[in-house]
Structure 1
Amino acid sequence: MITRDATITKAAKDNNISEFPSNEQALVYFDKLTAWRPNVDEQDIFGYSRHTEQEIAEFIGKALSYSIVPALSTSALNEENFQKLYTFYTETHATEAIIALPYFAANADQFVQYVETSIKKALRGRGELDIAYAAHAILQWRIMQESANTNELISRLVYQVTAGQTNGMVTLLWVMCQLKKHGALSDSHINSLSDMLPMLFDNLHYAKHSNLSQESIGASLIRAGCIELAREIINNGTSEYNGLISMMEEAKTDALPEVRFA
């Protein structure tokens, strides 16, 4: 759902953690959390227990990605602990835990292939959570390290955005903004995005969709994301982006405030 995609992006924007556990505390929490597995209730015919257990898994994945793994010492980013995290991620389907994997890849080349493969698989997923968290994982990895692997993943991400598929698009546009701010987008990437944004913005005009369609519900959020990315490109660019400028002018009279004031 588009609304969950927007929630992911908002959480990332608000995720300014100023305090982390110590290295020693983080390792203790890491061992306990990665050892957790959901309880299987054979009598749970309505799925209530399964839903609760999955919520716990997602909460653990969030804690690992934003608090625990970032606080681990370099020596703790080793083979044994990678296997603990990777097994937790694959066995519990805690999608947000993928954001913790790049910390290991940035620390040692032996983990790069596993992390890159996991991210690519998530990007190909049908669920918007898989796509959104994979995009965040790419951003996190690139912030920590520039390499041929991160650059190739960014190119895949740009291609996915320019393909115009709306699944996870709110998050993808936000991640593009962050990558631009970190100087991680090439001129080719920026030109591709500049060509695509006006078309995406226009294709999601409210008059083109049923009021009850999923596209209509999420259209304003994606259109706002287009404006935010366009502004980042124009403000820090050296070329003329007439298409983006025209799109931003049109947005000033948009029916919805989240687009007008994006």
Structure 2
Amino acid sequence: MASAPTRRGSKSLPPNLSELMKDLNGHTASFIVGFDHRESTMRKIIEEFAEISKEVRDMQWQTDTVRTGVVATGLLGAVGAAVVALGFIAAPLTGGSSLAAAAVGTVALVGANVRKTTKESESVKKVEELGKQFMETVEPLKKILEGIQTTCEKLEQKKTEAQAEDTLLKVEEFKITLTRVSELGKRTGEVLDVAVTVMERINNLLKLFLVFFSVSATPEQDRKLRESIIQSADQCQNVTDNFDKMKEELKDFRKLQTVRRATV
């Protein structure tokens, strides 16, 4: 016996759309629960990143300050030595004192560099751990967002097909729901882009660690590493904030579904 055609105005979605909406609601619930479970870990990682970033900035400032002093003292020593050599100053102690001061300054710079390198090594190891932990924490949520995006795309496709066949029911609640699905798909894509970009940057940061611990590391590579560490806290913060906003948007979407089902 053939099934009766769906009546226009009936308050039930066509089976294909109904099943996809069920999948979408399942994904949204998973993300909300998953983010609630992981949010504290993500924010703890951000705090530790921020602390290390501050340490890296402070270490660089201290080293640059010592280096500036050494350069100035070294120039003074060189000028003093030249003056003595030309015989303009009878007492050689002046030039000798300047050269001695330059030597002391150089020792100070070496000491500052040693302390900086040791501390940076410790910071790099900690950042490596935090970077891996953040990526492991974000990856399951990223997969759920991919599921949401894919389901929204399928709903959009089915909606278009139903409209072309004039079989989509012209009920206002469904129109609102499917419009929200389109908006949700777009928003999910934006959040995914942020997450993917930051994860790629963290992955590149992890690759820089291999160079940092090798004898071939150049000053330019060291500079890139420091900058990447300093940026890590902001990048992780960006992902977490976007996930938080996404959770609230998904909660609003689910409320809409609850209201719609109550009217059916």
TM-score relative to the length of structure 1: 0.21
Q: Pick 1 or 2: higher relative contact order, CA cutoff 8 A, min separation 6.
A: 2
Larger Rg: 2
User: Whose helix proportion is higher, 1 or 2?
Assistant: 2
